[in-house]
Amino acid sequence: MNLGIRAHDFTAVSAEELAEKISAKGFKNVQLALPKSFETINSDLGNLSPGFGNYIRNALSEKNIHVAVLSCYFNMVDPDEEFRRHCIDKFKEYIRYASTFGAKIVGSETGSYNRDFSYHEDNHSEKAFQTVKRTIRELADEAEKFGIIIGVENSVTLTIHTPERMKRLLDEIGSNNVQVLYDPIGFIRADEIMNQDEIITRSLDILGDRIAAVHVKDFIVENGERVIVPPGKGILNFELLFKLLKKKKPFIEIILENIEVNEMDKSINYMRGIYEKV
């Protein structure tokens, strides 16, 4: 099982300290969000360089850790057009320097008409879809120049919320440099939990050949809302998920997220046990 973690689920003041903490838990890859992992280092538009990337990569590689995904998450349908353009240009810069961090994927979710990424009734509209498609097509032009993959993450509350809509996005953009950051829970609404096996199976049938990395977490439903919990404490069918992933995407990087450090060991053991069994 090629298991990783979001780097900012740890607290650290340097890349060396971060690498030490990640290694101590046995993780071999990370999803790296620079401003969340290194709050004292400016990583906004115009601040990246090969030296910055090499510093991070070297510190992690000393502990046999590599960057699976370089995060540059932004709101692709942000109503503030000026800020949205700033974020697009920043994503392009991350594409240009991703290789110096040792990353092949630069990732983001799609977006919401609410600036805080909460659900808006227009998020699933055709207008939102076209804005996301136009944005990613522009980013793909840059990614193709540098041999970098754009990882698009799904979410039920954002614009790309079903496997079919993700497939349509990929087909209409028409670039092999655009792939999927698959979040199994990101396709399962709170009112669809009884259908989760069908949704997981359908997602991997439709998108399996385009999935570049996987996010894992667990969930329960309380008062009609999904609540994230550590793996093993919720209702996600990990046996089905891992059985399909082992068959369709051997050795794919599986990134644990939304978890406290004191819950990591239990979650790691739980997931590894299932992965080895199926």
Predicted structure pTM score:
0.96
User: In this predicted structure, what is the pLDDT of residue 40?
Assistant: 87
Q: How far apart are CA 11 and CA 7, in angstroms?
A: 8
Segments forming the whole domain that contains residue 228: 3-277
Q: For residues 207 and 152, what is the distance between their CA atoms, to the nearest angstrom?
A: 12
Q: What is the helix, strand, coil percentage profile of the chain, to 5?
A: 50, 15, 35
5: β partners: 30, 256
Q: Kindly state the helix (H) or strand (E) to which residue 246 belongs, with its residue range.
A: helix 238-248
**CATH number, position 38:** 3.20.20.150
What pLDDT sits at residue 148? 99
The structure tokens listed for 218 are 């667990």
Residues forming a β-bridge with 4: 29, 255
Question: What is the C-alpha end-to-end distance of the chain, expressed in Å?
Answer: 12
In this predicted structure, what is the pLDDT of residue 4?
Answer: 98
Residue 13 pLDDT = 87
Are 189 and 156 a contacting pair, CB within 8 Å?
Answer: yes
Return phi, psi of residue 107, to 5°: -120, 155
Quickly count: other Cβ atoms within 10 Å of residue 166's Cβ.
24
- Which pLDDT belongs to residue 39? 85
- Dist. CA 92–CA 101, nearest whole Å: 15
Q: Give how many domains the chain has, as a whole number.
A: 1
Q: Quick count: other Cβ atoms within 10 Å of Cβ 192?
A: 13
Quote the tokens at residue 100.
């110096």
Split the chain (278 residues) into runs of 10 and give each run's mean pLDDT: 96 93 97 93 95 98 98 97 98 99 98 95 98 99 99 98 99 99 98 97 98 98 96 98 98 96 96 98
Angle between helices 15-24 and 50-61 (to 10 degrees): 30
Residue 127's Cβ-count burial label (10 Å; 0-12, 13-18, 19+) is exposed
